[in-house]
Amino acid sequence: MNNSTAIIALESTAKIWSVALTAAAITIGCQQKEVRVEVPIETVKTNTVFVTNTVVKTNTLMVTNIVRVTNELVKEFPLVAEKIVPVKASIPKDYKAAFEIVNLMNNAKVAKKDDEAFHGIPSIHVRVYVSEKFTDKLSTDAIRNKIELKLRQAGIKVDLESPYWLVYSLDGFWEDNGIRANYSVSLELTEMVTVTRRSPPSALRTIASIWKRGTHGFAGSKVLESSAMNNADTFAEAFANAFLEQNPK
């Protein structure tokens, strides 16, 4: 081998080493190392360390590789415990009223007779219904005044706004070409009630009869009015007596 050949071979070798070292430097420079360290609560630090590796080959080639190592510290937070502390507070009146009503409903006793339903009623609204067949013979105003007078005499308050209706009803028909009336008459106390069902849960408001007295009779056209008035007076007195028994003055 002559000198020129040896120089060419040496230059080729130097280039190969240069490429190899350069590739190694690039490869090492792309690598990162992550380290997780447990630290005390509320302590957080981040350290960055630079490490320089110097590789020397031949008299003219130097490769420097910088490797960055990052120490990642995890921050820990103490657990926060929730504690429920009772605090005295006033209960709204509506809540108290609702609870009281539900409690009364759940513990209500069964009435042994219909008169017991009068307990706690503050006032009465009187209504009168007469069949159209008899309106030319009967005055609804006169019948209502008769019943209201009996109630007031007994000390029972009469109020048009009361939800407790005392209803006088007279119905029937004429016989023998209008000579005799075949009729039925009643006096009934009605109240709006709420009916509940548990399965499925539901509720319905309806009118319920909580007291009733009535009869059936015959009357000629000339005595029908007096008969109706007598019935109104008799039933109103029976109602007043039963009412006062449950609501004594």
Please state, in angstroms and rounded to a whole number, the distance separating the CA atoms of residues 242 and 238.
6
- Helices (H), strands (E): how many in the chain? 4, 7
Q: Is residue 126 a contact partner of residue 151, using CB atoms and an 8 Å limit?
A: yes
All structural domains of the chain with their residue ranges:
3-73, 116-246
- What are the helix (H) ranges across the chain? 3-29, 93-106, 140-153, 224-246
Q: pLDDT digit of tens for each residue in the chain (249 aa)?
A: 444 444 444 444 444 444 444 444 444 444 444 444 444 444 444 454 444 555 445 455 555 555 565 565 555 656 666 777 777 778 888 888 888 888 887 888 887 877 888 888 999 999 999 999 999 999 999 999 999 999 999 999 999 999 999 999 999 999 877 789 999 999 999 999 888 887 788 888 899 899 999 999 999 988 999 999 999 999 999 999 999 999 887
At residue 174, the pLDDT reads 92
Q: Is the dihedral of CA 193, 127, 228, 146 positive or negative?
A: positive
Selection from 35, 28, 22 nearest residue 52 by Cα: 28
Q: Which amino acid is at 129?
A: Y
Q: Is residue 118 a contact partner of residue 247, using CB atoms and an 8 Å limit?
A: yes
- pTM (two decimals): 0.58
> CB under 8 Å, gap of 24 or more: what pairs does 190-198 form?
190/164, 190/165, 191/117, 191/163, 191/164, 191/165, 192/163
249: exposed, middle or buried (C-beta count within 10 Å: 0-12, 13-18, 19+)?
A: exposed
